[in-house]
Amino acid sequence: MPDVFSKKIRSQIMSKIHSSKTKIELIVKNKLNADFIYQSKEFGKPDFINYKKQIIIFVDGCFWHSCLLHSKKPKQNKNYWIPKLQRNLIKREEVKIAYKSIGWKVIRIWEHELKSSIPVQGKF
């Protein structure tokens, strides 16, 4: 199915999607203590890292990380999105295995967990 938007409009829409400093990440940042570094450049780009306690935290959006409860398969441009989302799942597992194999604790927080437990004005 062809895109309903022109390439220019689609580009404008996609440019508004950020991979860092998202609302859900900022919610978690406000809840964590200063022991966690936000947006480190370490392998896998964890959202938060504590070197002393060897803990990494990822904040996963339901769409981008294929949440089993809330993710919906894209209806348009499936040839792009389905492999992209599958690669995200593979990368997520590789990162988890790599950190656990060296003794780190890996925590994943789902977008829907934040939506249901923290009162927030507006949408994510």
Output the pLDDT for position 3: 66
Output the pLDDT for position 122: 35
For the chain, domains (ranges, CATH) are: 23-117 (3.40.960.10)
Percent of the chain whose predicted confidence (pLDDT) is above 90: 23
Output the pLDDT for position 119: 45
The 3-state secondary structure of the chain reads CCCCCCHHHHHHHHHCCCCCCCHHHHHHHHHCCCCCEECCCCCCCCCEEECCCCEEEEEECCCCCCCCCCCCCCCCCHHHHHHHHHHHHHHHHHHHHHHHHCCCEEEEEEHHHHHHHCCCCCCC
19 vs 93 pLDDT, higher one? 93
Tens-place pLDDT, residues 54-73: 999 998 877 766 777 766 77
For the chain, the average pLDDT equals 77
